[in-house]
Structure 1
């Protein structure tokens, strides 16, 4: 009998990234936000934009799609991205930004690196700094990002799970990303799981499995791919596991997805 596998897969492999970037263009709710963010980035009065929402709703995927559009349209001369994460490491952030700007970071101290970045970002080129997965207020001065109120060429786009963090960062243009509605969730799930979900004996179970993913694109993508072309018993086992887990708590997509799903990228 097939079983829906439990695994201990490295978390770094399960971040949104390229999980389903190619499918986001077909999700109207995400396409609408992307279009609105692009329009705000064109506004000279807007210096900072946030994309907020709980873990798993697709913020990183959306940002990566935005970067593709920006690079293609040449809206900015350069785009640099840094992943911040829960434990803030300013040196790591500085190095990631420097790499994105093709800089050689030669300075040893945080302050010296900040001065080097500040000089580079003040050269007059239109630069977008993308800060992904921001958990707390960042000290831009410590990083080396210019004071945006008087900066004409540099802008910041960041993602966060906490809307209060977005507000406390002084961001006045905040986009909230919610879970997918039923129709979009099913569309994405079918894309991930394949045509087997149309089978008369699998379809009712598949719809229940998709429902248990609660509209979270990350969960939908991982669960759908894990069950691609699996037999009925695997689908039933998956549904049972997902229901048992959700009945206890569903506070965080990582706690929901990682212990229950095997993903082959």
Structure 2
């Protein structure tokens, strides 16, 4: 049985991001294949004939990271007077998106005003100048006007929308003048990324380890989010450990649904390896708990600590401040393993590719994330 949370209170999480692109800390990969796409995207943003631009690719290819990086650069260079980043995800919550955009415009939406929230947002945008709005993780066609977004020229400037999505159909439906496709990493870049997280100098990697690394990377499907998670699980360049990891990566993916897609098998096995390398059951339990939060929710670290302590993940005789310290250590371990992504100073979120793996694991292994009478998590 899987515990289901049908609705979370609004205070569980906040709208993605905070004012100013500099607060987004995701690391952009300076590889040739990514640089070329990045420069292409930046060039399209510089062209004022483009007011709707799409960045399309598989989940985990680094679309959000690239969008954040380009947002930082055009904000810093003053190409745009204001850059706003907000996560859309699914199911789409129009009010949350409006509140997030309004917050970053330093606008207090007034329900009692003659103007609707969308009109209030657009009035503010129209007086800012050149504005770039990045809509991240779009899964369905959006009515931008209902949100207060009207791409194109206005009285005092210009509004451009950059959306990231897995679907080319969404780009077409949304009327993107330009769509840039982000593919999985080619082997050379994928190998460099893996070695950069496992060996101080990838060029000095022994030939036997490098061959193993190539095989491991091949099992990661070329997805940066997966490669980094696996690399951080195998930080120690041990021939024996890497051989064992490769065997684990090639093992059949457990599934209740029979035959599975080969790409899905690779992704699941790769992330399962990262999960298995977490130290301590407490870290694994907290990781699985994070997956139960709705997609794209940013989870307050304070709330995560309280959940861990409240569910009795630590010794009952531990004083609160000791248990709190243990919770912080586990949270940092999950962040350092790239299984959780830090957003700002006090929030984390789970990439939807990783979340899917965690939910699959809960489903496959019948992990029941509830409390029994002794306030302990249990498996069934």
Q: Please report the TM-score for the alignment, with normalisation by the length of structure 2.
A: 0.59
The equivalent of 2:171 in structure 1 is 166
Answer yes or no: is the 8 Å Cα contact 1:55–1:253 preserved in 2: no
The equivalent of 1:156 in structure 2 is 161
Q: Which residue of 170, 187, 190 maps to 1:185? A: 190
> Which secondary structure state, in structure 2, belongs to the residue aligned with residue 229 of structure 1?
coil
The equivalent of 2:248 in structure 1 is 241
Q: 1:105 to 1:257 in 2, by over 3 A?
A: farther
Query: Could you tell me how far 1:236 is from its partner in structure 2?
Result: 2.7
- Structure 1, residues 34-53: CA drift from partner, whole Å, max 9, x if none? 11221211212111111000
Query: Could you tell me how far 1:204 is from its partner in structure 2?
Result: 2.9
- Structure 1, residues 149-203: CA drift from partner, whole Å, max 9, x if none? 5545111001000011111111120000111111111111111222487245533
Q: Which residue of 214, 222, 247 maps to 2:229? A: 222
Q: 1:56 to 1:18 in 2, by over 3 A?
A: farther
Answer yes or no: is the 8 Å Cα contact 1:55–1:252 preserved in 2: no
Matched, 1:194 2:199: yes
How far, CA to CA, are the matches of 1:160 and 1:136 in structure 2? 9
> Which secondary structure state, in structure 2, belongs to the residue aligned with residue 202 of structure 1?
helix
| CA RMSD after TM alignment | 2.7
The equivalent of 2:145 in structure 1 is 141
Answer yes or no: is the 8 Å Cα contact 2:133–2:160 preserved in 1: yes
> Which secondary structure state, in structure 1, belongs to the residue aligned with residue 185 of structure 2?
coil
- Worse overlay, 131-140 or 63-72: 63-72
How far, CA to CA, are the matches of 1:35 and 1:255 in structure 2? 32
Q: Please report the TM-score for the alignment, with normalisation by the length of structure 1.
A: 0.82
- Structure 1, residues 74-127: CA drift from partner, whole Å, max 9, x if none? 100001111001210001111221222222334389x82212111111115110
The equivalent of 2:107 in structure 1 is 103
Highest RCO, 1 vs 2 (Cα 8 Å, sep ≥ 6): 1
Q: Which runs of 5+ in 1 are unaligned?
A: 1-11
> Which secondary structure state, in structure 2, belongs to the residue aligned with residue 175 of structure 1?
strand
Query: Could you tell me how far 1:223 is from its partner in structure 2?
Result: 0.9
How far, CA to CA, are the matches of 1:70 and 1:256 in structure 2? 38
The equivalent of 1:6 in structure 2 is none
Matched, 1:82 2:86: yes
- Which entry has the higher C-alpha Rg, 1 or 2? 2
Q: Which residue of 5, 21, 34 maps to 1:30? A: 34
How far, CA to CA, are the matches of 1:115 and 1:232 in structure 2? 61
Answer yes or no: is the 8 Å Cα contact 1:47–1:155 preserved in 2: yes
Aligned residue-pair number: 245
